[in-house]
Chains A and B, each alone.
Chain A
Amino acid sequence: MSPMVKIGIVIVVLLVLLGQPAFVINEAEQGLILQFGKPIRIIQEPGIYLKYPFIQDLIVFDKRILVADARPAEYITLDKKRLTVDTVSRWKISQPLEFYQTVRDYRGAVSRLNDTIFARLREAIANHTFISFIREERENIMNRVAEETAIPAKQFGITLVDVRIKRVDLPEEVQNSVFARMRAERERIAKRYRAEGEEKGREIRANANKEKEIILAEAYRKAEVLKGDGDAEATTIYAEAYGKNREFFSFLRHMDVYQKIFGEDTTVLLRPNSPLMEYLDTPFVGETSVRKVLR
């Protein structure tokens, strides 16, 4: 072997030896160094670090915000309603040493956290009615559960960011009764709408009819007044004219009436002494005048 090759081998060996104790902690990580299983150093700043090979061990933890997604669990509210609640909590490892000593790793932490959250949430939900939990108190309950969980979590070297309720569901059979109620509710609304339509429709029709009757009656009134005016005026005119010679008027009118009431079906019995027959029996009294005419 040439000396060049020997030098090369030496360099590689040196790099490996130097590389073994050197390690990098990046922005997302933090580390704990154990010497024969005993924690001796906590590294929370990113960078390059050295440790003794073989006698020291490095355990790397996440420094980012982590999630603990609990499995949905059943809870009972104050008004004895069953609920399936799915919570999710976010936290980070703030004390790697305590974390390592108490829960060891991520999975241990998640199960401890979820146990605590489950217990606290069950207490909180049991103190609230279903509707207040859903509607008003959700945020408060979550905050309280988070506060109560944060204290034991601190002993695990965990800083709890928050606990959130992801889903609240009703058990299957309750869900079906909710659907039934919703249907009933909608049917009620539908009936109301239809009845309202009927109501408004009838009202409008009745108003229209009323308006129509009023219009017609008003017209009748006006018409009668007008007719009366006409009759009155005509009467005045007649009275004024006929009043000038009542006797003559009476005579003329009688003549008109005779003409109207005598027709083909009328039989007239004429007495010879009536003024019309005056000349029938006594033709010679007025002879001169008749002759004059004939001639």
Chain B
Amino acid sequence: MDQFRPRNDDHPVREIQKGVEDLKALFEGFFRGRGLWIVILIVIILYLLSGFYIVQPGERGVVLLFGKLNAITEPGLRYRLPRPFMDAITVDVANVRRAEIGFRSDGARTRNVPQEALMLTGDENIVDVQLIVQYVVNDPVKFLFGSDNPESALKASAEVALRGVVGENTIDFTMTSGRMEVQKKVEIYLQKLLDTYNTGILVVQARLLAVDPPAQVQEAFHDVVRAWEDRERLIKEADGYREDVIPKARGMAQQEIREAEAYKAQRVIRARGDAARFDVLRQEYEKAPEVTRTRLYLESVERFLPNTRKFIMEGGDSRVLPLLPLTNLGDGPKQQSSSEESPSSQMKGKQ
């Protein structure tokens, strides 16, 4: 520590010169010995060690010898000659990458890109489409050397394919029943383009995320959906009405028929009863017609006359009839009826 303490010296420059000379002497001593060779050796070893490279799982190493394709290496610790003799580029061939057409997702939020998403359909409509393309690099050599910026080629080609296919079809087809077909066609078309461009990319899947009407006409499209629902509702309501009316009518019909059957049955049974009663009575009557007849007659009269108002006319002249105050013949039918009652009861008793 002492040597770093400031010294009381008049010539600090000379001190420095002295220090440099010491250092020189040290170096010269070193280089004169085996020192130089050791340095050269270390440099050479370090240089050679720079030829090691790691191919990660799911990657391929593309090894070039003077720029010319030399080998493709599998994952692991690999060695090649150092630059500028050999070079190695690793390419991820397992990772499924994705490209977004019509939108960008940053984090959880997605942002619409109208100039990509809006496209013309075959029936001169405009539709808003979002496509996602999943792809892998299946040929690392082509991926590196086949095409300039293969991933931007993929994006542009996906747009070409998507617009081509959507343009061939109607808006309704693309939005509804044809969705899967459009998706498949885009995939095939896109793969064809990528093969022509030597991109070394394999499309795993092209998936339509959204096929919507543009925002400007969305309300009208929603209304179509509502109209369809209205249509279904009206039909269902009518079905409901039918379900309500028909069983009720059937019930009413059954009721009427049963009632008629009841009427029929009771008519016949009553008739039989009446007939049986008559038959019995008749048989008795025929045994003694005179007496029975008188009896029945008087019984009958006995039953209905008591309640009526009666007048007995002397001489039996019916010509007085118009003179009778028919409306005021009101009082005391009871006495007369009681007087009438006795002979008939006597008649009854006589039987």
Contact with A along B305-316 (1 / 0, CB 8 A): 101111111111
Write out the residue numbers on chain B whose beta carbons fall within 8 Å of the beta carbon of A52: none
Contact between chains at A47 and B66 (CB < 8 Å): yes
Cross-chain contact B67 with A25 (CB below 8 angstroms): yes
User: Which of the 9-residue segments A32-40, A112-120, A148-156, A244-252 touches chain B?
Assistant: A244-252
The reply to whether B167 and A138 contact each other, CB–CB distance below 8 Å, is yes
Give the contacting residue for B278; candidates A169, A242, A289, A292; CB below 8 A.
A242
**A25-B67, A219-B253, A229-B264 known; A67+B156 contact, CB < 8 A:** yes
Q: Could you mark each residue 51-82 of chain B with 1 if its beta carbon is under 8 Å from any beta carbon of chain A, else 0?
A: 00000000000001011110000000000000
- Does A107 belong to the interface (CB within 8 Å)? no
Q: A27-B145, A197-B231 are in contact. Are A134 and B124 (CB under 8 A)?
A: yes
Most interface-central of A47, A139, A241, A290 (chain B CB within 10 A): A241
Query: What B residues does A233 contact at CB under 8 A?
Result: 264, 267-268, 271
B296: CB under 8 A from chain A? Answer: yes
Q: Does A187 sit within 8 A of B, measured CB to CB?
A: yes
| Contact bitstring B152-165, A, C-beta under 8 A = 1, else 0 | 11001101100110
Question: Could you tell me if B278 and A249 are in contact, using CB atoms closer than 8 angstroms?
Answer: yes
Query: With an 8 A cutoff between CB atoms, is B181 at the interface?
Result: no
- Asked whether, in the complex, the Cβ of B260 is within 8 Å of the Cβ of A202, the reply is no
- Contacts of A156-172 to chain B: CB distance below 8 A: 161-162, 164-170
Binds A, one of B2-10, B13-21, B91-99, B235-243: B235-243
Known contacts A167-B159, A182-B126, A190-B227: A205-B238 contact under CB 8 Å: yes
B244-262: CB near A (< 8 Å → 1, else 0) gives: 0110111011101101110
Q: How far is the CA of A227 from the CA of B171 in the complex (A)?
A: 66
The reply on A259 being an interface residue by CB < 8 A is yes
Q: Is the interface of A mostly helix, strand, loop or mixed?
A: helix
Query: Is A230 an interface residue when CB atoms closer than 8 A count as contact?
Result: yes
B145:A262 contact, CB within 8 angstroms: no
Distance between A195 CB and nearest chain B CB, rounded to angstroms: 8
Q: Is the CB of A134 within 8 A of B307?
A: no
Is there an interface contact between A164 and B193, defined as CB atoms closer than 8 Å? yes
- Are A230's CB and B265's CB within 8 A? yes
Given that A205-B242, A208-B241, A238-B275 are contacting pairs, would A178 and B224 also be in contact in the complex, using a CB cutoff of 8 Å? no
Note all chain B residues with C-beta closer than 8 A to A164. Answer: 156-157, 160, 193
Q: Is there contact, CB below 8 Å, between B257 and A219? A: yes
Tell me if A187 and B275 are in contact (CB < 8 A).
no
B125 touches A187 (CB 8 A): no
Name which residue of chain B comes closest to A273, CB basis: B316
Q: Does B46 contact A (CB under 8 A)?
A: no
Binding site for B on A (CB under 8 A): 2, 4-5, 24-29, 45-48, 62-67, 69, 88, 90, 130-131, 134-136, 138-139, 161-162, 164-170, 175-176, 178-179, 181-183, 185-187, 189-194, 196-198, 200-205, 207-209, 211-212, 215-216, 218-220, 222-227, 229-231, 233-235, 237-238, 240-242, 244-245, 248-249, 251-252, 255, 258-259, 262-264, 266-274, 276-277, 279-280, 289-290, 292-294
Q: Lowest 4 A-B CB distances belong to which pairs?
A: A230-B264, A26-B67, A219-B253, A197-B231
5 interchain pairs (CB within 8 A)? A24-B66, A90-B153, A136-B168, A207-B242, A292-B350
Known: A67-B156, A226-B261, A267-B309. 9 other contacts (CB 8 A): A164-B157, A197-B234, A201-B238, A212-B246, A224-B260, A226-B263, A231-B267, A262-B305, A274-B316
